[in-house]
Amino acid sequence: MHLPHDPANPAADPIHFDDFLKVDIRVGTIIEAEPFPEARKAAFKLKIDFGPTLGVKKSSAQITAHYALKELIGRQVAAVVNFPPRQIGKYMSEVLTLGFGDETGEVVLFAPDHTVPDGARLF
């Protein structure tokens, strides 16, 4: 059910367009996916190919509710590629894979609906 205004999830404060341009969101193709049993919340370890300029980056993603490991291989996803790496347990996550919460809060991946070149930037 879609609510026109959800006071529990208000819109963020306005920003300048230049602030948006600082966030580097790129598309990449998942080339490896494996379990991440050490994570506090259920997650997978991903290796994502962002093309020749950025190469392959690692990400931890809490996407176990809607996705099986086998179906992730070859799937394009969007990720923020210019955050500093983040240590998650013994795993260093290099990019933030993007998604939206469904009605129960489980992550649904954000991806283009047509194939685009790996490394393409969101604008």
pLDDT at 2: 46
Number of separate domains in the chain: 1
At residue 51, does pLDDT exceed 70? yes
H/E run at residue 19? helix 17-22
Q: Which tens digits make up the pLDDT trace of 64-96?
A: 999 999 999 999 999 999 999 999 988 999 999
CATH label of the domain that carries residue 98: 2.40.50.140
Residue at 51 is within a domain: yes
Q: What pTM value is reported for the model?
A: 0.90
Residue at 3 is within a domain: no
Range of the domain at 43: 17-109
* 28 burial level (CB within 10 Å; 0-12, 13-18, 19+): buried
